[in-house]
Amino acid sequence: MRALPVLVSLAFVPLAALALLHGGPWLLALLVYGPVVVPVADHVFGLCAQVAPASRVQCGFAFAWVPIQFALVLGLAASADTLGGSALFVAAIGIGLATGGVGGASAFALLDRGGRYNRAAAELLTWPILYGSFAVRHGGESGARAATPKDPATPRLGEGFYSYFLRSTFIGLFAAWDAEEERLHAAGLSTLSLSNAFLRAFIAYAVLIEAAFLIGGALGVMALFVQAFVAWVVIDAGAYVARFGLLRRPLGQGHFEPLGPQHAWSATGDVPRLPGGFCAMALLATLWPERFVRLMNPRVLAWHARWWETATPPAAPETQAEATLSEARA
């Protein structure tokens, strides 16, 4: 069973190859596999529960996925002439489901594991989807603000996915830049050096866009951007479901309790627990945001009432805890 998440993820590869080479029904199969087959398999076998927290197997697979991530994107650009406009657009959506779903989860697993080489591999995974800020947002000082009202990547109570997506993407980008700039200044490094994760990412973007143009022309570049956008949506949908409405208790003086498993939703027997499989809930959040919010809001309030009352009382007064929840609702 431990190998099942890897097998389900690897199934994207032959499907993508067949879709890019032959088109036709294989395009439909690739398009259906991510939003239909994977959520069903997750519901039956608990795939997401098996890959979190990150294990050595998951991290090993994440390293192996790095060249696959690049191959999928460059192969997509190379198929521009054979597939044509509309078919290429469909293929880009299917590839984005793979690069965002598998690549994004792999990058997060590596960042969660920590370490220099894991972080470097996570950065590499974000370059083909033009999302280098993801590695900054989920690590270091920026990641330390997770599950607090200060974090633009933490969904607020009652916030729909697409409102979150816009706020997290644009405000989160500036917040990640500020965090990276602070890190570099603390280390005595220039923001214009290759120590800057953003600069490394921008150089990689330029190389990838040029490669997509040389391989597939303007259509190849269009396909690159479409798959990147789909991958962004997939990654942020996962982050949205995982953190929806959950906040750390304030301890006063701008400090919060340590980040723990109680600050992320789980699809297993752990608490706080989602009402359905993780992948299915992410799909619901993107396709029917209002329903997701109505389903989750009472669970958020119930969990906060339970956790904040049964855990060690915070040093901050109760009014500050209430203010924190009010800020999250805003």
Query: What's the number of domains the chain is made of?
Result: 1
pLDDT band at 29; cut points 50, 70, 90 = very high
pLDDT of residue 318: 40
pLDDT for 177-196, tens place per residue?
A: 988 998 899 999 998 889 99
DSSP result, 233-259: HHHHHHHHHHHTT--PPEEETTEEPPP
* CA dist., res. 29 & res. 22, Å (int): 12
pLDDT for the residue numbered 68: 96
Is residue 24 in some structural domain? yes
Q: Which range, of 85-94, 245-254, 298-307, averages the lowest pLDDT?
A: 245-254
What pLDDT shows up at residue 41?
85
Split at pLDDT 50, 70, 90, the class of 271 is confident
Q: Of the ranges 158-162, 260-264, 300-304, which one carries the lowest mean pLDDT score? A: 260-264
Q: Which residue has the higher pLDDT, 307 or 223?
A: 223
Q: In angstroms, rounded to a whole number, what is the distance separating the alpha carbons of residues 88 and 216?
A: 11
pLDDT digits (tens, 9 = 90+) for 30-44: 999 999 999 888 877
How far, in Å, CA of 304 to CA of 302, rounded?
A: 6
Please, what is the average pLDDT of the chain? 86
Q: Mean per-residue pLDDT for 228-236? A: 96
Q: Could you tell me the end-to-end alpha-carbon distance of the chain, in angstroms, rounded to an integer?
A: 42
With respect to residue 65, please indicate whether it lies within any of the assigned structural domains.
Answer: yes
Residue 186 lies in a domain: yes
> How much is the pLDDT for 139?
65
> Is residue 249 included in any domain, yes or no?
no
pLDDT for the residue numbered 54 = 62
pLDDT of 135 over the 60 cut: yes
User: Is the bond into 258 cis (omega within 30 degrees of 0)?
Assistant: no
Residue 231 amino acid letter: A
Domain that holds residue 29: 4-243+254-329
- Provide the pLDDT for residue 51: 39
Rounded distance, CA 158 to CA 293, Å? 6
Residue 11: pLDDT band with limits 50, 70, 90 = very high
pLDDT greater than 70 at residue 24: yes
CB distance 123 to 70 below 8 Å: no
Residue 141 has pLDDT above 70, yes or no: no
Average pLDDT over residues 262-278: 83
Do the domain assignments include residue 248? no
